[in-house]
Structure 1
């Protein structure tokens, strides 16, 4: 496996990459850059759409648009015009936009958009998991889980029976039983607990964004760990892929055969030596993998 550094400018905080199967393009969010970005590997063409607040997560829509989670709720972006249309804002309370913003998210195979939030400062676990669903009368938003500081790692198993969700500051990945027919989740329990950072001890990072392959393995970016881990459904580490930046943030599968793993990373808040390195923090990477990934799910609008 040879890691490639993609020829795009670094992101301040790259997140939520997805491979658009129809357009054969990679999309991702630059949260602290207040922009949605896209890149065509065949032509090298790039696109940038600015947003009024932090775009934390995104997914394709069945009509060609892009659904985005901003600080206060869910929006629809028309890539042709850059126009934003609000689908639904989160109730305040509990979603106080002075302390909370949306973070990691993705769609399930039924076309619902799920997004977790994060709280600043992390004095209480007030971050939550929200679900957006289209209905006859409009769009319904429902809080599905809570007790989190920084929600990340949202992913679904290939059989649609398990949902993964991580609490990054707690260094823990949980999983739920998932009913794709109803969209219900239940039986939350810890799945993998990583070691915390201790001075003078080896540190492998903490779990950030993730994706699942066709065999049910969970690929997770380890923030501050300079690597991506492939975990088996039992939680065993199958392989470790080193990346040349300290803070990878999320992964996705792309390419025509979904055997290219894309990795975003963070730049903002990193030391000057990381920002000015030959491979700067915030870079975007790709690497070929043996196991095919699951395709991105589209939002049913």
Structure 2
């Protein structure tokens, strides 16, 4: 394993949702509170940024070469032009069950559906109003699952038979594994947590899968990225120089680099490099990741 180092030129307030584009050999990610989408060209290390009108919880890349952004009032297709210009088109709106909510973590399944969680922005309220929604040819439907405070950690197994979710809230700190039907998009019921993160360092945040079917998840507040076996056993914990790693994603030319976004804490944490808070970090963990599926199931109007 190589040591983690910063690759982004900016420092995000809440860096999230890294997605690697195989087609363009670029990394995309968001700053939720900064209301921005970023792109880093791997070959030149050139970073470009686009400001949007709302907070962007997460993104997916589409088969039309656009970015699909889950924001506060709905899900939008964003055509990134010469920075900072962007053309934004609404694909679906949402009526949240409570005020002060937005979309949070999400990703596409192998069939090109976009699955996204919602949350109340003020985590201090500990409101379980969050749910899991799906955007596909039928439009935005859901919640197909509900009762989450801070839904995170969404990932799908390499064979498409399992789906993973976490809840990052301090009162939950759990990861669940659901059975999943990739053909129909049906989720199995939520049972006892697949992994109880309370005894482990860090709250479970954003996640990624490797080719061996192992699940990687950021240990927010602990400066770690954990790797779990398909059976839920903790295999290793990789250190990063920031206290609040937020989400990880595999990328690079051979999908052997692990990119980690991060959050600026309210107060710098002792033992970490405060100058790197909010940076995107990269390391080589010694395993290969999976290419991220493209969103292709645009709503039929």
- Fold conserved between structures, TM > 0.5: yes
User: Tell me, what secondary structure is at the counterpart of 2:19?
Assistant: strand
- 1:229 is matched with 226
- 2:135 is matched with 132
- 1:199 is matched with none
Q: Residue 143 of structure 1: CA displacement?
A: 1.4
Give the 5 Å matches for 1:60-71.
Answer: 60-71=61-72
How far apart, CA to CA, are the structure 2 residues paired with 1:155 and 1:122? 26
- 1:56 is matched with 57
CA contact (8 A) 2:228 2:234 kept: yes
Q: Find 1:84's aligned residue among 72, 84, 88.
A: 88
How far apart, CA to CA, are the structure 1 residues paired with 2:117 and 2:217? 16
- 1:111 is matched with 112
For residues 224-279 of structure 1, the C-alpha deviation after alignment (integer angstroms, 9 at most, x for no partner) is 01100010011111111101111000000001210100000001x421567x9464
User: Tell me, what secondary structure is at the counterpart of 2:86?
Assistant: coil
For residues 89-108 of structure 1, the C-alpha deviation after alignment (integer angstroms, 9 at most, x for no partner) is 1134x2x3x32111001000
CA contact (8 A) 1:132 1:142 kept: no
How far apart, CA to CA, are the structure 1 residues paired with 2:93 and 2:289? 32
- 1:100 is matched with 101
User: Tell me, what secondary structure is at the counterpart of 2:117?
Assistant: strand
Give the 5 Å matches for 1:1-301.
Answer: 1-2=1-2, 3-80=4-81, 81-92=85-96, 94=97, 96=98, 98-119=99-120, 120=122, 121-135=124-138, 139-169=139-169, 170-189=172-191, 190-195=193-198, 204-267=201-264, 269-272=265-268, 277=273, 279-300=275-296, 301=298
CA contact (8 A) 2:243 2:269 kept: no
User: Tell me, what secondary structure is at the counterpart of 1:132?
Assistant: strand
How far apart, CA to CA, are the structure 1 residues paired with 2:216 and 2:274? 26
Counting matched residue pairs gives 287
CA contact (8 A) 1:111 1:298 kept: yes
How far apart, CA to CA, are the structure 2 residues paired with 1:133 and 1:223? 31
How far apart, CA to CA, are the structure 2 residues paired with 1:263 and 1:177? 27
Task: Please list every run of at least 4 consecutive aligned residues from structure 1 whose deviation after the TM superposition is greater than 2 angstroms.
Answer: 120-124, 139-142, 276-280
How far apart, CA to CA, are the structure 2 residues paired with 1:63 and 1:195? 41
How far apart, CA to CA, are the structure 2 residues paired with 1:54 and 1:60? 18
